[in-house]
């Protein structure tokens, strides 16, 4: 069960996208971004088991302040991507021992660390592990062979994925998948994160095999997640 909390004027568009989504309208700024109304946001989140924040959020100062507050204060496990990561860049913040899964691509990782993107790419393992240990978070550094770094120094390398997934929006799909798996398997968070990353890449691989590298779009991955699950369960692939 998923609730999308967003600026009030965006709610009709969100609700029309998928009938199964519930919505929570939030006060907005003059520019249409989410305004700083801590009380209403807390009400929207109070009975939720997982929070995902960032995609489509925007960079209005009020929204940035709200995002930082959510990361710092909400008790729920959280997946942070896109403008949620941008809100944290250059700021002082702490996970306070709570599960925080950050999912940057190298450019976002550059903003989080202050390092050049070229430095990130030259030492992806070292940068990912160091950041996860320093900030006490789980870091999913996206790219060829996506890395999952844990606060205790462990690092896993994901074997699935394809260059066809280097399109806008594929990371947003991953945000939702990680959040969904964490909600379903709260007692095994590390495995839930790894499974989401693996299946995300496998869905991209299966989709590219049919649609082609250039034609595959982010939302196409949704069609291939069931096939990826079947493949992992040992069910013969129907592709």
| C-alpha to C-alpha distances, 164 to 102, 106, 160, 167, 217, nearest whole angstrom | 22, 17, 12, 7, 8
Q: What are the backbone angles phi and psi of residue 199, rounded to the nearest 5°?
A: -70, -35
Q: Where are the domains of the chain?
A: 47-232
User: What is the CB neighbour count within 10 angstroms for residue 153?
Assistant: 10
pLDDT in tens, 118-154: 999 999 999 999 999 999 999 999 999 999 999 999 9
Q: Which residues fall within 8 angstroms of residue 145, CB to CB, at 6 or more apart?
A: 157, 158, 159, 161
E strand or H helix at 25: strand 22-26
> 98: alpha, beta or left, given left = phi > 0 and alpha = psi -120 to 50?
beta
At residue 233, the pLDDT reads 80
pLDDT in tens, 62-120: 999 999 999 999 999 999 999 999 999 989 999 999 999 999 999 999 999 999 999 99
Q: Which residues fall within 8 angstroms of residue 67, CB to CB, at 6 or more apart?
A: 53, 54, 57, 83, 84, 87, 88
At residue 91, the pLDDT reads 92
In terms of pTM, does the model score above 0.85?
yes
Q: Locate 43 and state its tokens.
A: 């009400």
pLDDT in tens, 149-199: 999 999 999 999 999 999 999 999 999 999 999 999 999 999 999 999 999
b/e 95-134 (16+ beta carbons within 10 angstroms → b): beebbbbbbbbbebbbebbebeeebbeeebeebbbebbbe
At residue 238, the pLDDT reads 46
Q: How far apart are CA 20 and CA 222, in angstroms?
A: 15
Contact present, 214 and 231 (Cβ < 8 Å): no
At residue 239, the pLDDT reads 39
DSSP helix/strand/coil, 52 = strand
CA-CA-CA-CA torsion sign (156, 48, 203, 84)? negative
pLDDT for residue 213 is more than 50: yes
Contact present, 226 and 206 (Cβ < 8 Å): no
Among the residue ranges 29-38, 190-199, 228-237, the one predicted with the least confidence is 228-237
At residue 236, the pLDDT reads 54
At residue 15, the pLDDT reads 93
pLDDT class of 232 with cuts at 50, 70, 90: confident
Has domain 47-232 been given CATH number 3.40.50.720?
no
């Amino acid at each position: 069960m998923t609730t999308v909390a967003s600026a009030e004027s965006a709610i009709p568009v969100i609700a029309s996208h998928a009938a199964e989504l519930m919505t929570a309208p939030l006060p907005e700024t003059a520019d249409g971004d989410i305004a700083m109304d801590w009380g209403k946001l807390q009400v929207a989140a109070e009975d939720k088991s997982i929070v995902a924040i960032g995609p489509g959020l925007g960079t209005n100062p009020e929204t940035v302040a709200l995002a930082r507050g959510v990361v710092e204060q909400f008790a729920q496990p959280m997946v942070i991507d896109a403008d949620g990561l941008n809100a944290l860049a250059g700021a002082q913040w702490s996970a306070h021992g709570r599960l925080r899964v950050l999912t940057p691509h190298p450019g976002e990782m550059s903003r989080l660390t202050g390092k050049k993107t070229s430095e990130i790419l030259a030492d992806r393992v070292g940068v990912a592990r160091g950041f996860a240990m320093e900030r006490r978070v789980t870091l999913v550094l996206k790219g060829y062979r996506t890395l999952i770094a844990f606060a205790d120094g462990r690092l896993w390398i994901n074997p699935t994925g394809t260059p066809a997934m280097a399109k806008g929006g594929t990371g947003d799909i991953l945000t939702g998948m990680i959040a969904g798996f964490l909600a379903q398997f709260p007692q095994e968070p590390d495995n839930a994160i790894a499974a989401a990353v693996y299946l995300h890449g496998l869905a991209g691989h299966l989709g590219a095999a049919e649609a082609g590298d250039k034609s595959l779009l982010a939302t196409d991955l949704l069609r291939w997640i069931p096939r990826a699950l079947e493949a992992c369960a040992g069910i013969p692939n129907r592709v």
